[in-house]
Amino acid sequence: MIARDNASFTSLAATVKYEGHPMIWYMGLYAITRFTHNPFAMQVYHILIAAAAIWLFARFSPFTKLQKVLFAFGFFPFYEYAIKSRGYAMGILLLFLFCVLYKNRSKQYVLISCILFLLCQTSALGLLIAISLQAMLIYEILSDRAVRQNINKIAVAVMLIIFCVGVAASLWQMMPPGDSSFAAKWHLQFDGLRMERVLSLLSRAYLCSPYYWCFDMASGVHQEEMLFLNLCLSAVLFLFLFMLFLRKPKVLFLYIFSIAVFVTFFYVKYAGFSWHHGHLYILLITCFWLSACCSDTAPRLAFFDKLSAICTRYRTLLITVILIIHFYQGVRVYAKDCFYPFSAARETAQFIKDNGLKDMLIAGDLDYAVSPIAGYLDKKIYYLREGRFATYVQWDDRCQEDYDAKKLRGEPVLQKRKSLLIVNGDLKALPGYMTKVKEFTRAMVPDEKYYLYMLNFEN
């Protein structure tokens, strides 16, 4: 809707600044919406990107055929970054393209830098991944004498210039306006509980649980106990992988650096959701991929060398077990999606059309929850929380306020007319001017269950 309902590229760029991501995904959608408003066009565009990423993985990655199949149909590649149309799939595609080029990196620094430039433009998390990959390349040049002796210094200089321009361009596009309300706070003070939750994301991403549409490991377990369990699993997995990558110093550097960057981002800026945390899993797969391109270096201490050898012995087993877990979740959630709606928005919009309610004034709250209905209706909704007619939600300072249903009688735009109210929660003890029409509660997403009410302020 952002791409569709901005008439010019300039207004699109101004709107995207509220989204917290660069523009490359929106640019593609902007081109598509000049020809059609059908969301199916976006889905085709997105699935082609996702399929291209999987083709690169299947064609060039060093994994076994079984592991490639398990990965392709895992929860994140198959569902979060394929079925759900978001800009993250483009970042995964560019990341895998980097992995393909990495094997002959000494001759392709300029091309690699172009890939990293584009990766910076995909999302805020794409920017973090690009920074991690570039840091690994710099570490490799500084720490490996053989690499330094064989590189083209001019190519390296060009690579760094292109990368720095890419980072600057990405940050400029994501620089929020003064009235932005999306993830506006910075968490700079130490918060033990927040830190525990962020650190526990490692096991949640690697083991694909618990998320509200996945199998919930916390069933029957108190939240505090589940947090402690995830924290312990994260520590065990990190230490095991640390020892596993100990013989691959470049990959170990990438693994530690990328986790540090992501944990810092999740802590100080935005804790995120499953589609954000999934990048930790994709980065783990990337580390396994790149490790096949790096020669072994024995640790200086014999104890660590033996411990690393033991962990390496179980490398294939670990990868396969993780991939099986993700495969199970991916197939399970996709099967659920086939028979149970992800959102009730389409059904709700169709009911509105079929019953001749589309031409009425439609008001809604929560704004981001009811905005999909505006998309299906191709019609602006009066967002009560923001006090304006719109389709997409613009995350400015109007979005911060809660809305009290008692204010409905005082809304000027609703007076002396009948109007339709859409909310994502059931209202109790209805006043005389409000009549319940229907409810739509079959949805995987809790926020996207809808209740329709008729408002009559004619008298």
Residue 439 has pLDDT above 80, yes or no: yes
Q: Which of the listed residues 339, 368, 403 is the one where a domain comes to its end?
A: 339
Q: Please check whether residue 226 is in contact with residue 209, taking contact to mean a CB–CB distance below 8 angstroms.
A: no
The verdict on 302 and 262 lying in the same domain is yes
Per-residue pLDDT band for 217 (boundaries 50, 70, 90) equals very low
3-state class of 111 per DSSP? helix
Which of 294, 330, 371 lies closest to 83, judged by CA? Answer: 330
Residue 30, token pair as written in the block: 């902007």
Instruction: Please report whether residue 331 resides in a domain.
Output: yes
Instruction: Return the pLDDT at 221.
Output: 44
The verdict on 74 and 203 lying in the same domain is yes
3-state class of 255 per DSSP? helix
Domain residues for 275? 9-339
pTM (two decimals): 0.91
For 36-90, write each residue's pLDDT tens digit.
988 899 999 999 999 999 999 999 999 999 999 999 999 999 999 999 999 999 9
d(CA 111, CA 117): 10
For 27-36, write each residue's pLDDT tens digit.
999 999 999 9
Q: What type of residue is 208?
A: C
Residue 268, token pair as written in the block: 């100080």
Interior/surface letters 233-264, b for 16+ CB within 10 angstroms, e for the rest? bbeebbebbbbbbbbbbbbbbbbebbbebbbe
Instruction: Return the pLDDT at 167.
Output: 97
Residue 330 has pLDDT above 50, yes or no: yes
For 93-116, write each residue's pLDDT tens digit.
999 999 999 988 888 899 999 999
| Separation of first and last alpha carbons in the chain | 36
The verdict on 420 and 286 lying in the same domain is no
Residue 117 has pLDDT above 60, yes or no: yes
Instruction: Please report whether residue 366 resides in a domain.
Output: yes
Instruction: Please report whether residue 163 resides in a domain.
Output: yes
Residue 343: C-alpha distances to residues 85, 393, 456 (Å): 14, 17, 28
Q: Is 208 left (phi over 0), alpha (psi -120 to 50) or beta?
A: left
Instruction: Please report whether residue 127 resides in a domain.
Output: yes
- What size, in residues, is the chain? 459
Per-residue pLDDT band for 457 (boundaries 50, 70, 90) equals confident
Cα angle at 318 between 316 and 323, to 5 degrees? 95
The verdict on 222 and 290 lying in the same domain is yes
Give percent of the chain above pLDDT 90.
Answer: 63
Which of 446, 349, 354, 344 lies closest to 391, judged by CA? Answer: 349
For 285-298, write each residue's pLDDT tens digit.
999 999 988 877 77
The verdict on 211 and 320 lying in the same domain is yes
Which are the contacts of 322, defined by CB distance < 8 A and separation ≥ 6?
206, 207, 284
Q: What is the DSSP letter of 411?
A: -
Residue 9: C-alpha distances to residues 1, 207, 341 (Å): 14, 41, 34
Instruction: Return the pLDDT at 223.
Output: 65
Instruction: Return the pLDDT at 172.
Output: 94
Instruction: Please report whether residue 320 resides in a domain.
Output: yes
What angle, 0 to 180 degrees and rounded to 10, lies between the N-to-C axes of helices 88-102 and 124-143? 20
The verdict on 16 and 37 lying in the same domain is yes
Instruction: Please report whether residue 4 resides in a domain.
Output: no
The verdict on 137 and 262 lying in the same domain is yes
The verdict on 231 and 332 lying in the same domain is yes
Give percent of the chain above pLDDT 70.
Answer: 96
What is the count of structural domains for the chain?
2
Instruction: Return the pLDDT at 80.
Output: 93
Q: What type of residue is 227?
A: L
Q: Mean of the per-residue pLDDT values for the chain?
A: 89
The verdict on 130 and 267 lying in the same domain is yes
Instruction: Please report whether residue 2 resides in a domain.
Output: no
Residue 318 has pLDDT above 70, yes or no: yes
Residue 58, token pair as written in the block: 């299947």
Q: Please check whether residue 452 is in contact with residue 437, taking contact to mean a CB–CB distance below 8 angstroms.
A: yes
Instruction: Please report whether residue 423 resides in a domain.
Output: yes
- Higher model confidence: residue 405 or residue 194? 194
Strand order from edge to edge, sheet including 434-440: 388-390, 381-383, 361-365, 418-423, 450-456, 434-440
- Higher model confidence: residue 315 or residue 146? 315
d(CA 167, CA 162): 9
Q: Which of the listed residues 313, 339, 365 is the one where a domain comes to its end?
A: 339
The verdict on 222 and 357 lying in the same domain is no
Run of H or E including 452: strand 450-456
Which are the contacts of 265, defined by CB distance < 8 A and separation ≥ 6?
124, 125, 128
Is residue 52 exposed (0-12), middle (13-18) or buried (19+ Cβ within 10 Å)? Answer: middle
Q: Which of the listed residues 339, 357, 383 is the one where a domain comes to its end?
A: 339
The long-range contacts involving 391-397, CB below 8 angstroms and separated by at least 24 positions, are 391/1, 391/4, 391/5, 392/1, 392/2, 392/5, 392/15, 393/367, 393/368, 394/15, 394/18, 395/18, 395/19, 395/180, 395/181, 395/182, 396/18, 396/177, 396/179, 396/180, 396/181, 397/179, 397/180, 397/181
For 366-419, write each residue's pLDDT tens digit.
889 999 999 999 899 999 988 899 999 988 887 766 777 778 888 888 887 889
The verdict on 360 and 295 lying in the same domain is no
The verdict on 200 and 180 lying in the same domain is yes
